[in-house]
Structure 1
Amino acid sequence: MEPDTIIPKDKQTTPGLYLTAREAYEKWKTDPGKVKIIDVRTPEEYLFVGHPTMAWKIPIAIQSYEWDAEKGQFPMKPLPDFATRVKEIATPDDTLLLMCRSGGRSAIAVNMLAKAGFSHLYNIIDGMEGDAVNDPASVFNGQRMRNGWKNSGCPWTFKLTPEQMVLPALP
């Protein structure tokens, strides 16, 4: 990542380690046994948006279906067992590269794992879909097409890989 890159506040983490999607893919290729990519999005996102082919899919939150009129959305509900589920596939000495849609939820996940004793944690700041185009003259204005895993030529798929999912227990 460029040394003078300014990380938006909602993507900043306690460890302060950041990668772009392309850099994360290159880092993973150096040692796939010790470097793990963890996608913290919801199963719905894996299914309908796709996911990195090698990523572990460990949601940090679930989609609620209770409308929040003030925010104008269906908010996410955090999953308190997130760090416990990550410990099923990684040790505190592994290098973990965390991603979400665009870097916000993965920053929260990095901070949670840092508190749980993990030390080599990177936030993939452009996530799976990347940042939105901010150009009113563009037909792509507002769409997430500027960077991110999908837009950087990194390998991804819609094919679900249950053996790489660590989902929360059903209630």
Structure 2
Amino acid sequence: MKTLLASAVLAFGLAATTVQAEEALAVTPQQTWQMVQEQSSDMLFIDVRDPVEIMFIGFTDAVDRNIPFQLVDRTRWNEKKGVFAMEINDGFVAQVDQALADKGLDRDSLIITMCRSGSARGKPSAEYLLERGFSNVKYVENGFQGSTVKQGEKQGMRVKNGWQNSGLPWAPKANPEKIFRP
């Protein structure tokens, strides 16, 4: 009975460790900027937004590269959300591997992903990479553009938190050297 109980505890502990390893940790835009300043050559910072989105919202040259986690499929419309459907970029993992190799890094190096809000593609892309053998992946909390304001004159606008609203460097145009091109 003790052996059975010990085996169950051990199995539960291993399962809990596996679940924790697959959950990506959030870092603030300010923490990300500090890491870029201090250890840029030892990490990969990627913007995972579709490049068309970047074209209309803006970009930070602090990222190493734009590698979209999902790409817009303009042949399919999502009636419920009123937007075009988005599909996972089939080449995402290979493109991240290549970006790491280009910097002389490997899958154990720190990778930080950033999308518009942090939750729709930032965290999911980080967890996707963790599930595929990358060991040190984080995402930017509140993403590039931040969260929407719930009340007041600017209700619905993304004017709080996020990279863009934190006084960190960004520009309305993307760096052509870093933007994704199929």
Q: Percent identity?
A: 30
Matches within 5 A, 1:1-171: 14-55=22-63, 56-65=65-74, 66-90=76-100, 91-104=106-119, 105-135=121-151, 138-167=152-181, 169=182
Q: TM-score, normalization: structure 2?
A: 0.78
Residue 117 of structure 2 aligns with an amino acid whose one-letter code is S
Distance 1:42 1:16, change over 3 A: closer
Q: Is the 8 A contact 1:85 1:166 kept in 2?
A: no
* Structure 1 stretches lacking a partner, 5+ long: 1-12
- The CA distance in 1 between the partners of 2:93 and 2:150, in whole Å, is 35
- The CA distance in 2 between the partners of 1:27 and 1:98, in whole Å, is 13
- The CA distance in 1 between the partners of 2:54 and 2:77, in whole Å, is 22
- The CA distance in 2 between the partners of 1:123 and 1:85, in whole Å, is 17
Q: Is the 8 A contact 1:131 1:144 kept in 2?
A: yes
- Report SS of the residue matched to 2:156: coil
* Coordinate RMSD, CA, aligned: 1.9
Residue 87 of structure 2 aligns with an amino acid whose one-letter code is K
Q: How far off its partner does 1:161 sit? A: 2.2
The structure with more helix, counted as a fraction of residues: 2
Q: TM-score, normalization: structure 1?
A: 0.83
Distance 1:166 1:85, change over 3 A: farther
- The CA distance in 2 between the partners of 1:16 and 1:44, in whole Å, is 26
* Structure 2 stretches lacking a partner, 5+ long: 1-20, 101-105
- The CA distance in 2 between the partners of 1:162 and 1:117, in whole Å, is 30
- The CA distance in 2 between the partners of 1:93 and 1:23, in whole Å, is 20
Residue 128 of structure 2 aligns with an amino acid whose one-letter code is M
